[in-house]
Structure 1
Amino acid sequence: MSTRDHIVRGFKATLVARAIYMLSSALLMFVLARYLLDPDGYGALYWAIGILAVVQLFADLGLGKSAARYISEYNETDPGQIPHLLRSTVAFKLVIIGIVSVLLLVFYERIAVRLGDPSAAPFLAAGVIYIVANSFNVFAQISFQGFNELEYSAAIQAISGLFRLVFAVAFVLAGFGALGALFGYVVGYAIAAAVGLAILYERFYRRYEPADEYESGLSRRLLEYSVPLTATRSANVVDKQIDTVLVGVFLTPAAVAFYTLGKQITDFVLAPAESLGFTISPNFGEQKASGKLEQARRIYETSLTHTMLVYVPAATGLVIVADPFITMVFGGDYAGAVPVLQILAGFVVLQAITNLTSDSLDYLGRARARAIAKGGTAAANFGLNLVLIPTMGVIGAAIATVLTHSVYVAVNLYIVHVELSLRVARLARSMVLIGTITGGMAVAVLLVTPMISSVPMLFGAIALGTVTWAVLAVASGLVDVRDVRSVLG
């Protein structure tokens, strides 16, 4: 199978699974926000999840990503080392998770008090099992990525999303409120982790005949490479979660709900870019190992152009229809999320580039450089949040996110350019053309937006924008209908 066919197959599987995961997430978001929880309850749930995401950093470190990097490398050069890699990674994870879990169990009440909300203590206590379940759920997905067997990663992600939806809704309906929703998350992640680890053991660990000896120094390199990955992941969590935590500290649970809702909608929009980035990144490691950097460059440039062709118009459309979308779909109680979503539309474009680029840099061996950039911009994001949230409210957190992520994306693109010698002039011409297409689409949507008075009319306006974009994209030559049919076929 050619590299292109392998990428297309992996992208299809990942996109379908990501679609299932995001659809289940969207349904969960809709049901909880619209029918089951008020803004205070919704905010309390996701504030607790934000806190647990920070704690999860210390339980995961960068071991999963580090293992995936060496699995990808040794799968090509010395497969007999892979069983040793998997064993040592799991052993390291068990020790670290055990330490973090015990500390959280001892100090959860004090953490809740220090953060200004003692009522969050039960959520943090339940967080002990949340962290364990989610850690191994993510580890299984990343390990399959290292093997470049993305169908399995996709399946585990879909399983976690479906069971999380079912059990979260069931527990809330049973009368357990926001805490019940958190336990629904735990059950969904635990089922996905169990299935993932079983497949990892049966289909991969047992596939390889272990080498007589564990390569000298490989275990040490596994830990060493996890350090920059830990720094990068820490910075990612600061970017994605610490702002939510700080909104809860400085403002109200309802403000957390507005901010969380805006970010969840952007996550839903970003699903295809995340799927593509997850799919293509292992190929960079393989091609660098075999000296095929020209092919890697073509893959990245094509992926970047097509990603921007989708996300620049999508973000523009999001700004235009944010008001009727939020108020009609989730209710007037969540109108405070409208300006948050409009500002975060800029983040959609930036994060689409990040999703395409970040994992690829890890597989190109540039995790340390990316970690430095991410750490610097995450620290700036934290500082801006401390300044802007108290002075500007919830939109201050959104502004801080967009400003600092712009810098991070610029650095990422520069590193990719250094590694792959991107054809900048060619990319610039494509971006100008994409801007023109976006302008045409925006005019069409703006003309009908004043007439939106119901949900069907809202989705009619979105459909009009989509059709206008598709026609212009094909007419410009950026989209070849035959290629689309080939991929879908």
Structure 2
Amino acid sequence: MASEKSGNDQYWLKSGVINVLQNLTGVLFGFGGFYLMVRMLDKHSFGVWTLFMATTTIFEMVRSGLIQNALIKYLSFSDKSEHDKILSASFALCGALTLLCIVINLIIANFLGQIWKAEEIVPLFMMYSIVYLFSGVLSQFHWMEQANFRFNGIFITNFVKSGVFFAFLAICFIFNIKIRLIELIYVQAIALFLAIVLEYFFVKDLLKFTFQVTSEWVKKLLNYGKYAFGTSIGSILSSTIDQMMLGSLLSPAASGAFNIAVRIMNLVDIPTNAIAVIVFPQSARRLATEGEGAIRYLYEKSVGTILAVLIPALAFLFLFPDFVVSFIAGNKYEETVPILKVTVLYCMLIPFARQCGTILDSIGRPKINFMLVVLNAVINLSLNYVLISRMGVMGAAYATLTSNVVSFAIAQTILHRILGVNTFHTFIYAYKFYPEFFTKYIKPRLT
């Protein structure tokens, strides 16, 4: 029993460190690239890039939502003799979905260029088809690693992918080279290709296929993934619809100003993403071996840990938004300051929502998670349309805050009924985090 507990502690510590590093480097590279781009591009061009990335992120989430959790679940807990069939079905689904999304992408490119009054966005969509193909292969490799409780390759290849893109921007900034948006797509494709080649060496021992794609496993993956698919669509729409509607109702520049607040908040979202990656395979396994009580503890403890890390950062952002925006984006985005203060408020609720979705998916309740996300997306869409028309950019911030508060209340009620979750316990765990962390990791090094 002691050795099992020690093994669990090692898994959480090692996995946690790797995933925090992965999210930290990814966000820092992304933030660093944003820091340079916001200075090299004019407001309109930055807004166009913001709208383009928001749209392509939806395509990426469509694919991962349908396949990722299902593949991880079945590779983690199915007999190894079935792994070749599972992988073959997964790659076939991923390929078909990739081609479908590319077709849709090419069809809507001109339409989006017109409604956003940004014709220069059309060639970006055309060229992105290559990027989408490469990212599909890399995503499959990453999911295979995650299913086998490995994270080293994911960390290294994400570092390479993000690092190449950042290095290009840094060189252009240092040598005052004017960049075109289409060149950013070329660099993304090169970075992804390099990451695929590198990741192959981490997963080649797991790459076992059968040339026959079995309908049985295709159906299993689809049946499990259909609600996660809908959840991913609803989730990404909830997080990008405000920027898209700002682009169409106001201007790409307004979308860019709002995106700056979102980018800043991404810096404090690192622990949420890292712990979600670890919790999913652990919660699925604990449900089978320890029951619902372990899942309740896992949710309350993980959310409490995230809150303990987030609260100091969020307090600083709320108290000094002028300094943060000026330091990060310069003096031409003063309109972002009040947006950031509102964004900080609903960022407090993100750990609850993210871990709620992870837990519901892992215990076989993806339909409930799907309905929660769709509800949030509908409320967010409706409020954005009304409030942006009346209040401008601030309307998007208040719409997102309101939809998150409503979804939080409903989700906590559902978790209490299903698992007996007590929301107040998360704050207790957050409070206990600091002395526990000091006792376990700081004090031993001081003595």
Shift of 1:231: 0.6
* Farther-moved stretch of structure 1 (65-74 vs 334-343): 65-74
Contact 2:109 2:126 in 1 (8 A): yes
1:51 matched residue in structure 2: 55
Q: For the residues of structure 1 that align with 2:422 and 2:97, how far apart are their CA atoms?
A: 44
Contact 1:17 1:154 in 2 (8 A): yes
The reply to whether residue 146 of structure 1 matches residue 147 of structure 2 is yes
Shift of 1:323: 0.7
2:438 matched residue in structure 1: 481
What SS is found at the alignment partner of 1:332?
coil
Contact 2:115 2:248 in 1 (8 A): no
Q: Compared with structure 1, are the counterparts of its residues 184 and 228 closer, same or farther at alpha carbon in structure 2 (3 Å cutoff)?
A: same
Contact 2:46 2:256 in 1 (8 A): yes
Task: Give per-residue Cα distances to partners, 1:106-130, cap 9 Å, x unaligned.
Answer: 5522442244432321222122223
Match of 1:195 among 170, 185, 198: 198
* Farther-moved stretch of structure 1 (4-13 vs 132-141): 132-141
Match of 1:204 among 190, 203, 206: 206
The reply to whether residue 181 of structure 1 matches residue 180 of structure 2 is no
TM-score, length basis structure 1? 0.81
Comparing both chains, which one has the higher relative contact order based on Cα–Cα distances under 8 Å and sequence gaps of 6 or more? 2
1:243 matched residue in structure 2: 242
1:361 matched residue in structure 2: 360
Shift of 1:205: 2.5
Match of 1:63 among 44, 64, 67: 67
2:25 matched residue in structure 1: 20
1:163 matched residue in structure 2: 164
2:314 matched residue in structure 1: 315
Q: For the residues of structure 2 that align with 1:488 and 1:338, how far apart are their CA atoms?
A: 41
Q: Compared with structure 1, are the counterparts of its residues 21 and 341 closer, same or farther at alpha carbon in structure 2 (3 Å cutoff)?
A: same
Task: Give per-residue Cα distances to partners, 1:419-444, cap 9 Å, x unaligned.
Answer: 4433556446567x69xxxxxxxxxx
**Correspondence list, 1:305-454, <5 A:** 305-423=304-422, 426-427=425-426
The reply to whether residue 231 of structure 1 matches residue 230 of structure 2 is yes
1:134 matched residue in structure 2: 135
Q: Compared with structure 1, are the counterparts of its residues 197 and 107 closer, same or farther at alpha carbon in structure 2 (3 Å cutoff)?
A: farther
Task: Give per-residue Cα distances to partners, 1:57-85, cap 9 Å, x unaligned.
Answer: 555551122212222222xxx12212211
User: Structure 2: which amino acid aligns with 1:285?
Assistant: A
1:84 matched residue in structure 2: 85
Structure 1 stretches lacking a partner, 5+ long:
435-472
Q: Compared with structure 1, are the counterparts of its residues 8 and 419 closer, same or farther at alpha carbon in structure 2 (3 Å cutoff)?
A: farther
1:469 matched residue in structure 2: none
Contact 2:299 2:359 in 1 (8 A): no
1:5 matched residue in structure 2: 10
Contact 1:167 1:188 in 2 (8 A): no
* Farther-moved stretch of structure 1 (360-369 vs 167-176): 167-176
Q: Compared with structure 1, are the counterparts of its residues 337 and 79 closer, same or farther at alpha carbon in structure 2 (3 Å cutoff)?
A: same
What SS is found at the alignment partner of 2:9?
helix
Shift of 1:326: 1.0
Shift of 1:312: 2.9
Q: Compared with structure 1, are the counterparts of its residues 127 and 86 closer, same or farther at alpha carbon in structure 2 (3 Å cutoff)?
A: same
What SS is found at the alignment partner of 1:290?
helix
Q: For the residues of structure 1 that align with 2:154 and 2:443, how far apart are their CA atoms?
A: 24
2:3 matched residue in structure 1: none
User: Structure 1: which amino acid aligns with 2:56?
Assistant: L
Q: Compared with structure 1, are the counterparts of its residues 198 and 257 closer, same or farther at alpha carbon in structure 2 (3 Å cutoff)?
A: same
Q: For the residues of structure 2 that align with 1:364 and 1:112, how far apart are their CA atoms?
A: 42
Q: Compared with structure 1, are the counterparts of its residues 296 and 102 closer, same or farther at alpha carbon in structure 2 (3 Å cutoff)?
A: closer
Q: Compared with structure 1, are the counterparts of its residues 29 and 115 closer, same or farther at alpha carbon in structure 2 (3 Å cutoff)?
A: closer
CA RMSD of aligned residues (A): 2.9
Contact 2:62 2:232 in 1 (8 A): no
User: Structure 1: which amino acid aligns with 2:102?
Assistant: S
Q: For the residues of structure 2 that align with 1:158 and 1:255, how far apart are their CA atoms?
A: 31
User: Structure 2: which amino acid aligns with 1:158?
Assistant: F
Q: For the residues of structure 1 that align with 2:172 and 2:343, how far apart are their CA atoms?
A: 31
User: Structure 2: which amino acid aligns with 1:46?
Assistant: T
Structure 2 stretches lacking a partner, 5+ long:
1-5
Q: For the residues of structure 1 that align with 2:196 and 2:346, how far apart are their CA atoms?
A: 30
User: Structure 2: which amino acid aligns with 1:236?
Assistant: S
Q: Compared with structure 1, are the counterparts of its residues 240 and 187 closer, same or farther at alpha carbon in structure 2 (3 Å cutoff)?
A: farther
Task: Give per-residue Cα distances to partners, 1:168-199, cap 9 Å, x unaligned.
Answer: 45578654423323433333334334433553
User: Structure 1: which amino acid aligns with 2:68?
Assistant: G
Shift of 1:320: 0.8
1:449 matched residue in structure 2: none
Shift of 1:55: 3.9
Q: For the residues of structure 2 that align with 1:289 and 1:57, how far apart are their CA atoms?
A: 28
What SS is found at the alignment partner of 1:203?
coil
Contact 1:307 1:353 in 2 (8 A): no
Q: Compared with structure 1, are the counterparts of its residues 403 and 128 closer, same or farther at alpha carbon in structure 2 (3 Å cutoff)?
A: same
Contact 2:22 2:159 in 1 (8 A): yes
What SS is found at the alignment partner of 1:205?
coil
